Structures are given as C-alpha cells and as structure tokens.
Amino acid sequence: MSFQAEEQEFDFSYTFEYSQDRQNEPGTDAYSYTPNVSLSLPLGMGSPCLATQYHTLQTSPVSSVSSCHQTGYSLQNDNHNASGYYLPHGLRSNGAPALESPRIEITAYSHYPEDEVEESSSEDPIIKRGVNSIVTLTLPNADGYRDPSCLSPASSISSRSCNSEASSYESSFYNYDNSPQNSPWQSPCVSPKGSSSLLSCPHASGPATSPHHSPSTSPQIGAVAEEGWPGQLRGSRPNSPCYSGGNGGGIGKRKHSFNGTPYHHTSCSPIHSPIPSPHGSPRVSITDDSWLTSTNQYTNSAIVAAINALTTDGIVDMGEGIPIKTRKTMLDHSSSMSLKVEPSGEGTDGELCHEDYPSRLALKKENYCGGFLDVPQHPYSWSKPKPYLSPSLPALDWQLPSCSGPYNLQIEVQPKSHHRAHYETEGSRGAVKALSGGHPVVQLYGYMESEPLTLQLFIGTADDRLLRPHAFYQVHRITGKTVSTASHEVLQSNTKILEIPLLPENNMRAIIDCAGILKLRNSDIELRKGETDIGRKNTRVRLVFRVHINQPNGRTVSLQATSNPIECCKSHLPLVEKQSLDSYPASGGKMMLLSGLNFLPDSKVVFVEKAQDGHHLWETEAKVDKNSIKSVSTTVVVEIPPYRNQRISSPVHVNFYVCNGKRKRSQYQRFTYLPPNGNHQALFTF
DNA sequence: CAGGAGAAGGTTGGACTGAAT
DNA sequence: CCATTCAGTCCAACCTTCTCC
C-alpha cells in the first residue's frame, strides 16, 4: 500500500467545539468533536493495529457516527467551528494552501496576556493566528526534527521544547506527515529508529540532530545519554532501577501474556529496557498564558529545528559523534526495544506478533526490527514505512469525546486519588491502584467486532485548564508477576504512551495494573525553552485513556476517557478519597465520614461556595469530630454545616476541603445541598 | 526433579538535604 | 535572614522471583 496514495485521501479537517466550561470530570470534555467528527483511516488500514500507526485525521460532515457524549458543558463559539477547525482539505485555516511539504512557519504572533488568552480561548486561535504573516521554511524532514528525543541533551533543550506535536492546534496544521513530500518514509532525518514514535527513537536520534551532541560518544551512557534528557546525563545519577522496566525487569523473570500464559522471550523484548521512562514531555506546555502562544513556541522552536535541518545533513547528523560501532549497538538496542511487549519466551518474533498481539504489533515489530538495523545512506533514500505515524493521530492535547455513536469508553474503576510517583533515580513505586485495592479498569462499550483494539494510556494534567499531556509526569510501564495486563510503550509527541490490548474475549475490558507514574525533575522540564509550566506543586495528574476504532468505511473514531485526578507527590497534604455523603438537605446536621490520608486532630473541614467568576459566596467551617482522628488518620467525621440559605428551591453545588494548616489543603470535594423534599420534587416537575 | 539458600531485583515507607518560598 | 515547605535523592526493610547447588 502506498502511503502517499493514502495521504492523498486525507480530508484533514476537524470540527471542534469549544466550551469555556472547564471540566475535571472523567469523561467530560471541554473540547470535543462535533458529533459527526471522526478520525478516519484511509482504505486499506482497517486493521486496528494500523490505527495507531497510520492514522489520519479526518472529519466527515457526512459521517454517521454521532456523539453521545454527555459532558454537560455547553458548546460555544460555534460560529468559529467551520471557519476555524473545519478545514477543507488542502486549505489551511488562514486560507493558505495546505502544506505540501514539511515546512516551518515563522509567525510573528504577539503573546497574549494571560487573561486575554483566557478570553480568547473561546475564540478560534487559528483565526487569530491567521492574521499574522507567516514565513515558511521547508523541512526536509520535519518529523525527525520534531522528535525531541532525537535531540542531543546538550542542545536539545530548546529544540525539544518545540517538538510539540502534542500541541493540538499545531498538530493539526503542521501535519507534515500528511504530505507526500513530508512522508517520513522519505525523510532524510527520520532515523530508522528516530522515525519511530516508539521507544527506540531516542537512541539513534539523539545524536542525529545535534551537532553538539557529546554524550553520544560515550557508549557507556548509551541509551540514557542519547535520550536527550539533560537530567540523565548527570554523572552523579545512578542507573535508575526504573530503567529495568519495572519489577519484571529481572533476567529470566516470568512474563505474562495477555491471556496469562507465559510469554516467550524474543529479541524484541529486552530484559533490561534501555529506554528509561523519563521522557519528559517535550510538548510545549500550554499554560494559562500560553495556550495560544504555545503554538507560537512550537513555531519558534520549529525554526530552530528547521535551521538544524537546513544546516546539517540528516544522515551525517544521525551518526555524528557516534562511532559506527556504537551506532550499531544503539540500533540493535532500539530495534530490540522498539517493541516493548511482554516477552514471549522461546517463540519467534513472528509468533509473538501474530499470536500474542494483534497484527498491529506484528507490523510494528517488522518495521522496527527490520528498519532500525539499517541506516539510510541518503536523506531521501529512506523509503521504509514509518512504523508509527503519531502526527496523524489526534494530538494528545486534543479533547476527544468518551462516547461516539455506539461506542463508549468508560473508566469502570477509578484510580486512587493518590499515588506516589517515582523519580528516575528511584525504583518503580508500582502501578497505580484503585481505591478498592485493585487497579483501574477501563472498558469500551458498543464495540462488536472481533478485532482487538489498542487502548492508549498517557498521563495528563489535572489542573483547571484543558487536558493535555503532563509535562512533569510520564506513564511508566509496570511488568511482573502481579501484572496481568500486557502492555508496551510508545512515544507520541514525546509523551510516553502505554498501549494495552483491548480484547473482545475480555469484553473490551482492560485492567490497568501495568501503569506506574514517573516523575520528571522539575528543573529538567522547566529549563526547556518554551516550557512555561512550572513543576512545583504541579503534582496532580489524570490517567488519559484513548482508543481508536476503525470503521468499515475507513474512518476511525477516537475516544478518550480521563480519570479522576491523582495526587502524585508524597506530601503530607490531606487527601479526601471518599465521602459517605454526596448530598444532603440544606439543613445540614448530618455526620459525614471522610476517608483519605493525612487527617490530623486539628484538621479543619471547610465548606465553600463559589460564584462562577470564582469569588467566594459562602464559606463555613464544619464541625469535626476530633475523637475520630487520632494522630494521623485516614478518616474523619464531620458534621455537615447548614447551608446559608435554608429555602433553596434547587440543588446547590458547593465544595469542601480538609485543611491541615495555612497551605495544607486538600483538593476541593463536591457536595450538594438539596432543597427540602417538596421543593426538590417541584424542581424536577417544572 | 524437588527443595533450600542465596542473589537479584522490585516495592514501599520514610529520612535526609538543599532549594524555593 | 529565618522558618517553612517542597523537590529530589537515598536508604533500608521487605517481598518476589530466579539461579545455583
């Protein structure tokens, strides 16, 4: 099949509806596709295995897939949809022709003040940007340069920061890969490894784009140095146990297949993963004041990449500073780790691919293991298929619906609200657990095909802004005897993604017992040029699950579900995990049991009601049963205070939090005051 | 081939230290 | 400048799994 031919079919258009209503609830989306939006896959890509590799974005106004997404958030600015996000093929939002070759657009955007951004966020940023003049540089290989992991630790900080495929808007418009000329398969800089979005990338690509790459010359550093993670280059840092890939990293340790039978070891499954978890999210962080400007950052950093591209030969660059022998070793590594599936024991690779994992893996494996061993001799002679076309998937910060048509992606069991993430310098701290003691469970409803799908998992933000990959946390693959769910890691937009099989025989249900959380050092991330998020006290994350479902018509529906927030620090902040009551009449007086962490005898529980503009309408301290707390407790009993207005006619949503001191507050918890019985009924009869 | 001892590695909780606030 | 908080590192105990005898 011809990728180019298929690319021609791309109708690269998206319809977005933007809601200013923030959402933090799982499964809700502030951004969502319009009901008829789907991500389409060109013909011949019906296999789910291909979905994650060769996705293209496509929106069809005639798509019959309707969204059943129930977010409860209003959709606004519909007037911008068509003009802003629904882009006819071949036409950019600003009216310019679609990019036909990799290029960088240098746009002199002014930075929006923070609040201006907030305001403008409801508007079509593309429109806004469209007024700016754009200078275009053609990139021989955009993809290769965009991959942050392809950049040297020494020089990549700024470069990496620009690699923001995850930046939604840019992703949609800098769709290099959708251009035949931009096909990574032809890309000079798409390293056999680097071209992959998979783990392997870092190895070959580290030196690839950086003339200043120094660590590459040190085979000892190996993958770590070549990862392009500044922090990993620090000689003082010990080899992190996490590099071993979890508790199953030990040689000869038993592995499990999807069905629980032992896997066979294959060359594709390294015993010791050279791929450290620590892939800082190279995405450009979209912050309060950078939601729009972040795209600018992307552009600017893309310029850097373009300059690199134009001033260096891709091939030479790829190996620059690395002895051939070293490069070969690296290639071997990457090829072996490119498919980070559970080892299958004595089976051949082929067996693994075809039997234990859907054909998608087979394809990947072929591509990786085969392609990575070869170093293209000429930038444009690289004709091997790119195994993973992440840019054609929806960017990771695009808000996708959890439900579309018959499909519904649901988190059946939510993760615990606290999970101590581990650092690179630490060993794994295990998989994220569920409150009940098990693990989170995700299920796809409405899928009746026999073809397995791939569930993607990455770590997203949990702040008040739009969901996006978390810059300071990455998902970390956990393996071992206690892990029943197989998984493997891939990189998309330099955000590590865990791919987990969704099997029809399991009712498209997956137990997420294979996902830990890795904390990247703040300094490493913050030093990136373009990174505007700060890591300090930015410790809440959400698990983001995605699934891409191929349709018979060649289109693909992408769904996303997000978990409840997870506090990842080990701080001593109080944490409310459960509350015995979610609602109670305004009269209050009822005792409510809170369970969680770090409740102290002098903890206070404060009920707060805020107006939509954020200012406090009401605040009162609830009576805490001091006897219910002995030293540091996991439970506390509080008396629900009466609401300020006893005559409410409709339910009133308020919040409460547990406070252990001036700056030691738990997250807000929701609570609803109900009107007296009669009124309540009346409310709904209206 | 089974069982025990030891090694290796993963998990977990917490202490320590320096930086930031 | 000091106190507090936080981030990051390190350590130790415990556990599981594997290897060797």
Tell me the nt nearest to A250, Cα to C1': B9
What sign has the CA pseudo-torsion A521, A52, A10, A177? positive
Find how far residue A110's CA is from the centre of its chain: 28
Round and report the angstrom distance from CA (A430) to C1' (B11): 7
Most confident of A134-138, A247-251, A430-434: A430-434
Is the whole-model pTM more than 0.85? no
Q: Give me the residue spans of the domains in chain A.
A: 403-567, 575-674
- Is the pLDDT reported for residue A524 higher than 70? yes
Round and report the angstrom distance from CA (A475) to C1' (B9): 21
| pLDDT at A447 (0 to 100) | 94
| pLDDT at A510 (0 to 100) | 92
Residues in Cβ contact with A100 at an 8 Å cutoff, skipping those fewer than 6 apart: A179, A180, A181, A182
Which CA-bearing residue is nearest the C1' of C17? A253
| pLDDT at A630 (0 to 100) | 56
Which CA-bearing residue is nearest the C1' of C5? A663
How high is the mean pLDDT of chain A? 54
- Is the pLDDT reported for residue A258 higher than 60? no
Tell me the nt nearest to A476, Cα to C1': B10
| pLDDT at A603 (0 to 100) | 74
Q: Which nucleotides of C are covered by protein (CB under 7 A)?
A: 5-12, 16-19
Residue A83: burial class (beta carbons within 10 Å; 0-12, 13-18, 19+)? middle
Tell me the nt nearest to A478, Cα to C1': B10
Reported as a single tens digit per residue, the pLDDT across A3-43 is 333 333 323 223 233 233 333 333 333 333 333 333 333 32
A64 pLDDT band, cuts 50/70/90, is: very low
| pLDDT at A400 (0 to 100) | 95
Which CA-bearing residue is nearest the C1' of B21? A536
Round and report the angstrom distance from CA (A265) to C1' (B2): 26
Which CA-bearing residue is nearest the C1' of B10? A247
Query: Distance (Å, rounded) from C-alpha A594 to C-alpha A578?
Result: 6
- Contact present, A474 and A281 (Cβ < 8 Å): yes
Round and report the angstrom distance from CA (A265) to C1' (C21): 26
Which CA-bearing residue is nearest the C1' of B8? A250
Tell me the nt nearest to A521, Cα to C1': C8
Round and report the angstrom distance from CA (A39) to C1' (C16): 44
Reported as a single tens digit per residue, the pLDDT across A176-202 is 233 322 332 222 222 323 333 333 333
A459 pLDDT band, cuts 50/70/90, is: very high
Q: Which nucleotides of B are covered by protein (CB under 7 A)?
A: 8-15, 20-21
Reported as a single tens digit per residue, the pLDDT across A562-595 is 998 888 887 666 777 778 899 999 999 998 888 7
Tell me the nt nearest to A246, Cα to C1': B10
Find how far residue A648's CA is from the centre of its chain: 41
| pLDDT at A48 (0 to 100) | 30
Q: Which CATH class is domain A575-674?
A: mainly beta
Same CATH topology for A403-567 and A575-674: the answer is: yes
Round and report the angstrom distance from CA (A533) to C1' (C5): 20
Near-strand B residues (CB closer than 7 A): A 241, 244-251, 420, 422, 426-431, 478, 480, 516, 534, 536, 570
Asked which of A164-173, A471-480, A671-680 is least confident by mean pLDDT, the reply is: A164-173
| pLDDT at A628 (0 to 100) | 67
Which CA-bearing residue is nearest the C1' of B9? A250
Percent of chain A at pLDDT exceeding 70: 38
- Contact present, A146 and A163 (Cβ < 8 Å): yes
Reported as a single tens digit per residue, the pLDDT across A312-368 is 233 223 322 222 222 222 323 333 333 333 333 333 333 333 333 333 333 233 232
Asked which of A67-76, A473-482, A511-520 is least confident by mean pLDDT, the reply is: A67-76
- Is the pLDDT reported for residue A123 higher than 70? no
Tell me the nt nearest to A248, Cα to C1': B10
- Is the pLDDT reported for residue A523 higher than 90? no
Asked which of A228-232, A288-292, A636-640 is least confident by mean pLDDT, the reply is: A288-292
| pLDDT at A65 (0 to 100) | 33
| pLDDT at A632 (0 to 100) | 57
Round and report the angstrom distance from CA (A61) to C1' (C7): 49
Mean pLDDT of A387-412: 82
CATH architecture, range A403-567 = Sandwich (2.60)
- Is the pLDDT reported for residue A551 higher than 60? yes
Percent of chain A at pLDDT exceeding 90: 14
Tell me the nt nearest to A537, Cα to C1': C6
Residue A130 half-sphere exposure, CB side, CA atoms within 13 Å? 17
For residue A643, which of A682, A679, A590, A576 has the smallest C-alpha distance? A590
Round and report the angstrom distance from CA (A597) to C1' (C1): 35
Round and report the angstrom distance from CA (A107) to C1' (C9): 42
Near-strand C residues (CB closer than 7 A): A 231, 236-238, 250-254, 423-427, 472, 480-482, 519, 521-523, 535-539, 569-573, 661-664
Query: Distance (Å, rounded) from C-alpha A619 to C-alpha A625?
Result: 19
- Is the pLDDT reported for residue A670 higher than 80? yes
- Contact present, A139 and A306 (Cβ < 8 Å): yes
Tokens encoding A13: 């258009």
Task: Write the DSSP string, A517-574.
Answer: EEEPPHHHHHTSTT-----TT--EEEEEEEEEEE-TTSEEEEEEEE---EE-S-----
Tell me the nt nearest to A419, Cα to C1': B12
Round and report the angstrom distance from CA (A252) to C1' (C18): 7
Round and report the angstrom distance from CA (A222) to C1' (C12): 30
- Print the SS3 string covering A174-206: CCHHHCHHHCCCCCCCCCCCCCCCECCHHHHHH
Tell me the nt nearest to A422, Cα to C1': C8
Mean pLDDT of A622-636: 70
Mean pLDDT of A55-65: 31
Mean pLDDT of A633-647: 85
Round and report the angstrom distance from CA (A667) to C1' (B16): 28
- Is the pLDDT reported for residue A543 higher than 50? yes
- Contact present, A487 and A477 (Cβ < 8 Å): yes
| pLDDT at A662 (0 to 100) | 61
Round and report the angstrom distance from CA (A288) to C1' (B11): 37
Round and report the angstrom distance from CA (A477) to C1' (B18): 31
Round and report the angstrom distance from CA (A272) to C1' (B5): 26
Reported as a single tens digit per residue, the pLDDT across A363-382 is 233 232 222 222 222 222 22
